[in-house]
Amino acid sequence: MPQQLAILAPSGRDATVIRSILKGATVATCVEPDIGSLIEALDEPRAGGLILAEEALGEDGLIILQRWLDGQPPWSDLPIVLLTRGRAGPDANIAIAGRLGNVTILERPLHPVTLVSAARAALRARARQHEAEQYVAELELSEQRVRESEAKYRDLFNTMDEGFCIIEFLDGPAGPLSDYVHIEANDAYARHSGITDVVGQRLREMVPDEADSWAERYRAVLETGEPIRFEQELVATGRHLELAAFRLEPPERRQVAVLFQDITARRQAEIALQQLNVTLEQRISDALAERKLLAELVEGTDAVVQVVDPSFRILAINRAALDEYERIHGIRPKVGDSKLDLIKDKPEAYEQMRRIWQRALNGEAFTEVAEVDGQRSSRFFEMKFSPLYGPGGELIGAYQFANDVTDRLRGQQQLAEATARMHEMAKLETLGQLTGGVAHDFNNLLTPIVGALDMLRRQHESDERSSRLISGAMQAAERAATLVQRLLSFARRQHLEARTVDVKLLVEGMHDLMQRTIGPHIAVRVETAANLPAARVDPGQLELALLNLAVNARDAMPGGGQLRLTLDQAEVRPLDNDSLDPGIYIRLSVSDTGVGMDEATLHRAIEPFFTTKGQGEGTGLGLSMVHGLAAQSGGALRISSKVGKGTIAELWLPAATGEVDATEGTDERLPDQPRRASILIVDDEGLVRAATAEMLREMGHSVKEAATGSAALEMLSSGEEFDLLISDYLMPGMRGSQLVEDARTIRPGLPALLLTGYANLAKGEGSGLPRLSKPFREADLARAVAELLIESSRPRGKPRLRSV
């Protein structure tokens, strides 16, 4: 193989400088003046790789070199070092590299270390290619030897002294697999059995009187796969035969191979000897049977069993060991072979085998669990090695028992993964509970802020500067409220106004909004299937979730791309082994052509506050909110991604039946109050209580305040009249729902409104009570109060109250 690099750099002193640098690093080179001389250097060959200046090629030279490379043999992939000046741009250099194949691009001016490293790497790569060429040649020679071996064994089959045949089982008159036909037999078959022309003959036609006995023996071999060795008289010819039988794989062939010889003379001698010494014969027979049984057990076991002498020659090896040796090394050894000589062309395997067996040959008994690579797969084995001692106590070898423990180890790994997932779920649940509490406190803080700003905005509408400042503060408060909603969605404690929604209409209606949100550099495509059912979901939360997914996709495509929204129907069946309940689902897929995520990032994508964005660019709650919405709606969020291939987020929502609910718009106008009312406001948070009372007074109502439920009950018991009770839900000592229940024992039918930091009411608690979520504006409170006052003025009947 050429151990030098050809240099083609005709401009300036590049070739001289490069050759000088490489000569100092003991890398041989030859400088070629033009492309023709370069091709001659490759044909001779006197070059094992190329160093090319980009300006030395040109289109004609590039075509000539590309043609030469296309004519290389399959094993060859000539390494090329391409020197650029960066003027053509990375795309042009990549295009040249794509045409030439195995190219390393170096930008000039060159650093000597980089040049030497690239040159040595090219020569090493070329050397490995030549090694591969030699390996292919040796493999072809091995195949030729196999063919010659097959021919040799065919001659052996025809000339061997023992009788040999292959039988194939058939369904006969006595039932399934009750007959067989001889499909192959050697010349010695007739000599030992006394039956000629056996090929094509059926058992029950040849020896009908003793067919059942022969069929039963060989059928057991076929069905169990365990080989047998036995002696039996062939009554039809009066021959005593010694036979061995084993199944030919796979079992579907229904074939058994039989090897036998005529032992009539020996059997007759044995009978005569038995008559002389029955006792001795019985002892010998028992001993032979025991050895035979042990041999069959070792041969038929799935465990790998091997015995070697101190020179690593195989003394015994069972079938399982032969199969495993063939799987790993591609050859089947035999007794007498040297284990080390069989793999001397594999240095790493050679040294590993020598080391581990030498420990046992030195007298050490030990157990190891190791992964064993095969030609197509790898398996894990538990290997027990022990020294083997002779009758006098001398060490005569070593033996191995090995069992395949792959399935056991995989089961242990799956258990560990399941335990890790359980711990992760417990951690998220704990974090969710903490998040719910934090969100409740934030809503209490935001309620007086939002209420006060709302009232100030109305009072200063004529003052442009004040109105602008108040609007800015209001926007910041609303953003904080949105952040709290995301926290609650993650914690699965956000009260969802679930409705029967036409998701197709909602998604198609958001096309323009999403396009404006993510910008014109990203194309938005919406594809929806026809005749989709509705879904039961909070439409506002779904819109927010969709916008979150769109913004994440935008941030993943800073250079532009395509955002694709696909809406279709999917079914989860009972046997699908899916985490979702069986049924029909609406599947909303949001896919992008962005940078994608690696496995580590994807694993943490829905964790709260986890973000890959810069400081101030994201809260890390977007995907957590989408996950919370999906879980609360009875669905799931599934994300798949590959680095450089983009991301697909699938939102699965259970399909709903019935008519689609009408949507309600947002109205910020203060509704007129039906009358001036006396209202009792109860809240343990002084700021929230004061802000709510101030909004009610501005509406014209008379307001009394209480900090606890017990104080409120004392005021009601004192005889003071109230038209409406407004209470916080979560208070120390007494929940708002309990306060309403106790208050109505004093004042039956008293209208009541619950204020909630988050709607995590216990199942059945406060059933039928209208609720208003914090933070709320003055208009929200005014609508709730007006509706309750109107309801209380109607004749007694079922009230028509709703949550706000």
Whether 511 contacts 483, CB under 8 Å: no
Q: How far apart, in whole angstroms, are the C-alpha atoms of residue 99 and residue 101?
A: 6
Q: What is the pLDDT at residue 616?
A: 46
Percent of the chain with pLDDT over 70: 84
Whether 83 contacts 51, CB under 8 Å: yes
Q: What is the pLDDT at residue 426?
A: 63
pLDDT digits (tens, 9 = 90+) for 496-509: 667 788 888 888 88
| Domain 298-404 in the same topology as domain 4-135 | no
Mean pLDDT, rounded, of the chain:
82
Token couple for 173: 């008159």
Give phi and psi for 686, each to the nearest 5. -60, -40
Q: What is the pLDDT at residue 1?
A: 65
The answer on pLDDT for 442 being more than 60 is yes
Q: Which residues pair with 675 in a beta bridge?
A: none
Q: What is the pLDDT at residue 412?
A: 81
Please state which CATH number belongs to domain 678-793. Answer: 3.40.50.2300
Q: What is the pLDDT at residue 483?
A: 63
Give phi and psi for 288, each to the nearest 5. -65, -40
- Cα–Cα distances (Å) from 784 to 297, 661, 706, 763, in that order, read 85, 21, 20, 23
Q: What is the pLDDT at residue 392?
A: 86
pTM: 0.36
Q: How far apart, in whole angstroms, are the C-alpha atoms of residue 649 and residue 612?
A: 17
Select 503-656's CATH number: 3.30.1510.10, 3.30.565.10, 3.30.360.10, 3.40.50.300: 3.30.565.10
Token couple for 643: 């680095």
pLDDT digits (tens, 9 = 90+) for 203-242: 999 999 999 999 999 999 999 999 999 999 999 999 999 9
Q: What is the 3-state secondary structure (H, E, C) of 628-640?
A: HHHHHCCCEEEEE
Alpha helix stretches (DSSP H) within 301-387:
319-329, 339-342, 347-361
661-682: average pLDDT: 75
pLDDT digits (tens, 9 = 90+) for 330-348: 888 889 999 888 888 888 8
pLDDT digits (tens, 9 = 90+) for 773-799: 888 888 888 889 998 988 877 655 444
Of 474, 307, 268, the closest CA to residue 387 belongs to: 307
Top-level CATH class of 160-281?
alpha beta
Residue bearing the bigger pLDDT, 665 or 125: 125
Confidence of residue 516 (pLDDT cuts 50, 70, 90): confident
Percent of the chain with pLDDT over 90: 24
Q: What is the pLDDT at residue 680?
A: 94
Confidence of residue 180 (pLDDT cuts 50, 70, 90): very high
Q: What is the pLDDT at residue 630?
A: 80
Taking the CA atoms of residue 117, residue 119, residue 123 and residue 126 in that order, the dihedral angle to the nearest 10 degrees is: 110
Identity of the highest mean pLDDT range in 390-399, 470-479, 604-613: 390-399
**In the chain, domain spans:** 4-135, 160-281, 298-404, 419-478, 503-656, 678-793
- CATH homologous superfamily, domain 298-404: PAS domain (3.30.450.20)
Confidence of residue 618 (pLDDT cuts 50, 70, 90): low
Q: What is the pLDDT at residue 227?
A: 94
Please state which CATH number belongs to domain 4-135. Answer: 3.40.50.2300
Q: How far apart, in whole angstroms, are the C-alpha atoms of residue 114 and residue 22?
A: 11
- Give residue for tokens 């284990």: 339
Residue bearing the bigger pLDDT, 442 or 6: 6
Of 185, 169, 188, the closest CA to residue 177 belongs to: 169
Whether 97 contacts 105, CB under 8 Å: yes
The answer on pLDDT for 83 being more than 60 is yes
Q: How far apart, in whole angstroms, are the C-alpha atoms of residue 398 and residue 314?
A: 10
Query: ω into residue 45 within 30 of 0, thus cis?
Result: yes
Whether 51 contacts 7, CB under 8 Å: yes
524-543: average pLDDT: 86
